[in-house]
């Protein structure tokens, strides 16, 4: 059954390339094609997830002796793959309506589909080398869609994105080489590939770990390496929503979790300066991201800063280096994805339909766009972590995990998460206020032609908001699944 793993990676890459080769002229045909491809691929992933017990590592190529490219579907892979399998068809449905306004659709969808395959590859990779390859590939393949508009600001954003990502990956590469040299393997083993390092050797490995952490941290937008993410919000919204809130940035967090728990191992790092450094930087990022989001008036950039903050929740959980921390981190990994994609969808709708890019242009919109802003409110409550939405479940896991682990950085982290929740409430509510309570002197005429978008956008929003509440109520099953899957 091992060969199953290759399909979810190859299928979207091939069918993505086909989009350009066929060069669809008929919009309807292309829509059907796109939805079919993504749904089939999600189905393929589902097939892998259901047969995960029968699948073990698939070695399909050796770069050199002892350097295999390998795939497998272990617990973490399944979680990540499941998340993207859920969100990609939804995002494609949204993109179908959105990209009508942007143009250049064939090129866009080519890369959009290929990214699906590459992200799957990253999720299923069984060693650091494979992960690294897909990680670099992901940077390059998403570059054209970040620069899609091909205006000056798009190109500047793309250039920034590539500089940051490649620079970070270089550090990760050094880390990988050192690990390979020291341990002789880069295979993911829960608990780490080293055993019994001591003294200065251990300290050097910790230094290498910190380097790798910040190297991969670029994609997870850890402070001070976050600069590319707000700039990249000039990309079309299906990209910002799916890639810069879920797929690409989660790849960074995913790689970091892999590196901490499966390469270096908590035994080497727990309670050392390296752990404290990671904790401190993620705590700083949590507060920083939320405060910047509060200051930012551009809708999409505000959400981008909020993503920066939330990604660091995951890094914080991962850096706790306890099983509880890992569970919290991965829960937030899944739940934040679902929430943030919804928020970005809303930002994209007002941007492409009414060209409103700033939050203070949205007075009274909630009255007309009932479904859109209803979804925004639900997702906003989720982001704040109000029970019974999913946001609460992961936040609870994180802070109880942190309380259990103890220590100064972890305690400060709890406070940071709570302060950040308050800031989140402020920046989300300021928008909801404007949308629903525009004030006494408001002229209803200005929004007379505002209405909800079409079905391709509405249905994703409805599905996601229902998910946010229903999964929140039944979050214990997901959290249980996650904690069983990784230990």
Partner 1 sequence: MTLFMSNFCSIGLSFKADGFRLLYFGVSLFVFLICSAFAKDYLKETPKQLRFWISWIVTFLSTVGLLFAGDFFTCFMFFEIMSLTSAIWVLHRETTGADYAGRVYLRISVICGMVMLYGLVLVKHNFGTLDLEELTKITATAELSKRLAPAILLSVGFGAKAGVFLLHVWLPKAYTHAVAPGTAFLSAILSKAGVIGIILSSSVLGLVGNETWGNLLLILGACTMVVGAFLAVFNNNLKKTVACSSLSQIGFIMTGVACMVLDPGGLAYTGTVLHMINHTLIKTALFIAVGSVYKMTGTHDLNELKGYGKDKPILKAVFAVCGLSLAGIPGFSGFISKNMMHEALDAVAETSALAGVVSVVFTVTGGMTLCYMLKLFICLFEEKGFASKKPAVSVGRQIYSLIPATSVFVTGAAFPLYAKLPSKAVLSEYRNALGILDFEEVFGFGFFSLTVIITTLISVAVGLGLYFLFVRILLIKNNKGERIYGEGLPLWVDSEKYLYRPVFMIFLPFVFAFVARLFDKLTDLIIYFFRKKVFKPLKKRRPVAVGNSFTYALGTVLDKITRRDKKPGRVSYVTSLALFNEQTAAMARMIERSLSLSMLLFSTGLVITLIYMLFK
Site residues (vs partner 1, CB under 8 A): 163-164, 223-227, 287-288, 291-292, 294-295, 381, 384-388, 392-393, 396-397, 399-400, 403-404, 414-415, 418-419, 421-422, 425-426, 429, 433, 437-440, 472-477, 479
Smallest distance, partner 1 to C-beta of residue 390, A: 9
Residue carrying the six token digits 């306890």? 322
SS3 category, 283: helix
Q: Report, in Å, the least distance between residue 384 CB and partner 1.
A: 7
Q: How far apart (Å, rounded) are the C-alpha atoms in residues 303 and 376?
A: 12
Find out whether 389 and 472 touch, Cβ atoms under 8 Å: yes
| Residue 463 or 469 having the CB closest to partner 1 | 469
**Backbone phi, psi, residue 346, to 5°:** -65, -45
Residues comprising the chain, all counted: 487
346 neighbors 461 (Cβ within 8 angstroms)? yes
Nearest Cα neighbor of 320 from 268, 271, 252 is: 271
| SS3 at position 187 | strand
Nearer to partner 1, 104 or 407 (CB): 407
- Angle (CA) 220-415-395 rounded to 5° is 60
- Kindly tell me which of 11 and 373 has the beta carbon lying closer to partner 1: 373
Task: Name which of 3 and 433 has its Cβ closer to partner 1.
Answer: 433
Structure tokens at 468: 């946010």
106 or 400: CB nearest partner 1 = 400
What DSSP letter does each residue of 40-68 carry, written as one string?
A: HHHHHHHHHHHTGGG---EEEEEEETTEE
C-beta of 437: minimal distance to partner 1 in Å?
5
**10 Å Cβ neighbour count for 53?**
8
Report, in Å, the least distance between residue 293 CB and partner 1: 10
The least distance separating partner 1 from the CB of residue 429, rounded to whole angstroms, comes to 6
Closest approach, Cβ 333 to partner 1, in A, equals: 15
Provide the greatest CA pair distance for the chain.
74
Element (H, E) at 137: helix 128-146
Indicate the residue among 155 and 180 with the shorter CB distance to partner 1: 155
Closest to partner 1 by CB, 53 or 152:
152
Beta pairing partners, 193: none
Closer residue to partner 1, CB minimum distance, 112 or 214? 214
Q: State in angstroms the smallest separation of the CB of 65 from partner 1.
A: 36
And the tokens for 372? Answer: 């859109």
d(CA 258, CA 137) in angstroms, rounded, equals 18
Q: Which is nearer to partner 1, 108 or 214 (CB)?
A: 214
CB 19 to partner 1: min, Å: 35
Q: CB of 387: closest distance to partner 1 in angstroms?
A: 4
Instruction: Give 199 or 439: the residue with its C-beta nearer to partner 1.
Output: 439
Residue 99 or 384 having the CB closest to partner 1: 384
Which letter does DSSP use for residue 69 in this model? Answer: E
Q: Any residues with CB less than 8 A from the CB of 386 and at least 6 apart, and which? A: 392
Minimum distance, C-beta of residue 105 to partner 1, in the bound complex (Å): 32
| Closest approach of partner 1 to the CB of residue 164, in Å | 8
137 neighbors 125 (Cβ within 8 angstroms):
no
Q: 187 phi and psi, to 5 degrees?
A: -65, 145
Phi, psi at 300, each rounded to 5°: -70, -35
Handedness of CA 220, 312, 432, 439 (dihedral sign): negative
């Amino acid at each position: 059954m091992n060969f199953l793993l290759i399909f979810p990676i190859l299928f979207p890459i091939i069918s993505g390339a086909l989009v350009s080769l066929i060069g669809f002229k008929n919009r309807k045909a292309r829509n059907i094609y796109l939805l079919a491809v993504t749904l089939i691929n999600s189905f393929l992933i589902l097939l892998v997830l259901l047969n995960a017990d029968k699948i073990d590592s698939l070695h399909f190529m050796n770069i050199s002796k002892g350097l295999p490219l390998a795939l497998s579907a272990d617990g973490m892979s399944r979680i990540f793959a499941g998340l993207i399998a859920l969100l990609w068809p939804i995002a494609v449905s949204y993109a179908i309506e959105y990209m009508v306004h942007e143009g250049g659709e064939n090129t866009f969808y080519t890369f959009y589909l290929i990214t699906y395959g590459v992200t799957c590859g990253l999720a299923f990779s069984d060693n650091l080398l494979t992960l690294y390859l897909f990680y670099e590939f992901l940077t390059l393949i998403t570059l054209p869609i970040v620069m899609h508009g091909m205006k000056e600001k798009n190109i500047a954003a793309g250039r920034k994105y590539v500089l940051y990502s490649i620079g970070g990956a270089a550090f990760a590469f050094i880390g990988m080489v050192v690990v390979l040299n020291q341990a002789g393997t880069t295979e993911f083993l829960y608990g780490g590939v080293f055993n019994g390092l001591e003294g200065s050797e251990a300290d050097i490995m910790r230094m290498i770990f910190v380097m790798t952490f910040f190297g991969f941290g670029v994609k997870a937008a850890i402070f001070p390496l976050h600069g590319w993410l707000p700039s990249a919000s000039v990309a079309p919204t299906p990209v910002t929503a799916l890639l810069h809130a879920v797929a690409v940035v989660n790849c960074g967090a995913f790689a970091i979790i892999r590196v901490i728990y499966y390469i270096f191992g908590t035994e080497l790092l727990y309670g050392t300066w390296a752990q404290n450094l990671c904790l401190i930087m993620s705590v700083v990022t949590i507060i920083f991201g939320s405060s910047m989001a509060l200051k930012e008036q551009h809708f999409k950039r505000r959400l981008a800063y909020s993503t920066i903050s939330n990604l660091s929740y995951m890094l914080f959980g991962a850096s706790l280096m306890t099983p509880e921390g890992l569970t919290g981190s991965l829960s937030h990994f899944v739940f934040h994805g679902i929430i943030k994609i919804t928020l970005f969808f809303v930002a994209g709708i007002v941007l492409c339909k009414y060209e409103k890019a700033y939050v203070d242009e949205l007075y009274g919109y909630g009255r007309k766009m009932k479904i859109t802003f209803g979804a925004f409110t639900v997702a906003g409550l989720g982001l704040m972590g109000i029970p019974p939405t999913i946001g609460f479940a992961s936040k609870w896991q994180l802070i109880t995990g942190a309380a259990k682990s103890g220590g100064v950085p972890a305690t400060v982290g709890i406070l940071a998460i709570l302060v950040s929740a308050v800031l989140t409430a402020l920046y989300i509510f300021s928008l909801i206020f404007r949308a629903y309570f525009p004030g006494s002197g408001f002229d209803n005429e200005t929004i007379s032609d505002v209405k909800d978008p079409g079905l391709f956008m509405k249905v994703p929003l409805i599905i996601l908001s229902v998910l946010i509440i229903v999964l929140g109520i039944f979050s214990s099953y997901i959290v249980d699944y996650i904690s069983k899957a990784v230990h």
